[in-house]
Amino acid sequence: MKEIWTLAEFRCGSLNSISFELLNRGKELAKKLDAPLSSVIIGNNIKTEDINELIARGADKVYVVNDSHLEHFIVESYAKVLISLLKEFKPDIFFAAATTTGRTLMPYVAIKMKTGLTADCTGLDIEEGTGNLLQTRPAIGGNILATIKTPNTRPQMSTVRPHSMKPMAADESRKGEVIKREFIDDSSEVKTKFIKFLKDETQQVGIQDAKIIVAGGRGLGKAENFNALEELAEIFGGEVGASRDVVDKNWMTYPHQVGLSGKTVSPNLYMAIGISGAIQHIAGMQTSENIIAINNDPDAQIFKVADLGIIGDLNEILPPLIKGIKEYKKKEA
């Protein structure tokens, strides 16, 4: 029986929502293969609620390895757990998020399992006829999208970009199977020592977690015009995003860049202002809940993905828009 596995991320006592994004991605694959969808959760102090949440969010089975030695992410220990599970249960497909954890752990495991891994996928699908996993990712500097297969070895492994999918909604009525395994400690095999957990403070711009993003492109004309976008983002309690062209022009810094060679975002509201909607930009924001585009070219590609399109000169649209929203907010307060 073919089975599809996803890696749930459990850190500091709670599940990362990326775990639910992976389940949403796995759902379609499972349907096409008529196979169960499972999550693997590794950590310490994993609670029944965490396991139940994975089931509610789409897992048919949850494999749990809960042990005090697994409190911190140590690649050798986590890999040992995964390899043992993979050898015992032999899933057909196994994928994780392309986070620091996924990018570190999955290649390590793939080498030990003597199987292939496609990193940083933007799309996963099932090939008709063979049932092989089709793993799509940008290649050659993002100029082409390559679809890669692992036809000869199992499991077929990949990491997928975070925020390239919405998290699976919870359905508390779902039932699932829970499979627990013990962690067998052998510290002599572990060369890595945990010293301290330090949060990365260098990534000050949190556009990937923002609920609202006000993004600007070359249509803004000059760096100073981003002040209006910063004002708008501040009113909304959001963040400022940017196209690659404005980052290349030094109007904005790289952590703000959205797209294929920047970040993938999925906010509730994405405002694309003076952005043409090149395929490389759209790849980074198309899963946004609501997209509003302002552009003076009625044929701009961005209007193809926009829920609301405003055709006109942003210099004429932005000042009254900001004024209007401010007045509305004042009345609401």
CB of 328 to ligand FAD, least distance (A): 23
Tokens read off for 149: 């297969």
Q: Which two tokens stand for residue 324?
A: 């209007």
In the three-class reduction of DSSP (H, G, I as helix; E, B as strand; rest coil), residue 164 is classed as: coil
The end-to-end CA distance of the chain, in Å, is 58
- Binding footprint of ligand FAD on the chain (CB under 6 A): 141-143, 217-219, 243-246, 257-262, 274-276, 278, 280-281, 284, 294-297, 300, 313-315
Residue placing its CB nearer to ligand FAD in the complex, 122 or 295: 295
Q: How far is the CB of 35 from ligand FAD (least distance, A)?
A: 34
Least Å distance between CB 253 and ligand FAD? 14
CA 38, CA 288: separation in Å to the nearest integer?
26
Q: Give least dist CB 303 to ligand FAD, A.
A: 10
How far is C-alpha 212 from the geometric centre of its chain's CA atoms? 16
- Residue 30 or 285: the one with the smaller Cβ distance to ligand FAD is 285
Q: Which lies closer to ligand FAD via its Cβ, residue 39 or residue 257?
A: 257
Least Å distance, CB 302 to ligand FAD, is: 7
Query: Which secondary-structure segment (H or E) carries 235?
Result: helix 226-236
Please say which residue, 238 or 274, places its beta carbon nearer to ligand FAD: 274
CB of 146 to ligand FAD, least distance (A): 13
Closest contact distance (angstroms) between CB of 202 and ligand FAD is 20
Q: Which is nearer to ligand FAD, 43 or 219 (CB)?
A: 219
φ/ψ (deg, to 5) at 85:
-65, -45
Beta-sheet strand order (sheet of 308-311): 239-242, 212-216, 269-273, 290-295, 308-311
299: burial class by Cβ within 10 Å (0-12, 13-18, 19+)? exposed
Residues 59, 181, 133, 79, Cα dihedral to 10° = 130
Could you tell me whether strands 133-139 and 144-148 are parallel, antiparallel, or unpaired per DSSP bridges? Answer: antiparallel
Identity of the residue, 36 or 277, whose beta carbon is nearer to ligand FAD in the bound complex: 277
190 or 317, CB closer to ligand FAD? 317
Distance of alpha carbon 236 from its chain centroid, rounded?
A: 23
Q: In this complex, which beta carbon is closest to ligand FAD, that of residue 24 or of residue 261?
A: 261
**DSSP code at position 36:** -
Give the C-alpha separation, 10 to 47, whole Å.
Answer: 11
Closest distance of CB 279 from ligand FAD, Å:
7
Full DSSP string of 138-189: EETTTTEEEEE---SSSSEEEEE-TTSSPPPPP-TT---EEEE------GGG
d(CA 53, CA 50): 5
Q: Is the dihedral of CA 19, 25, 27, 32 positive or negative?
A: negative
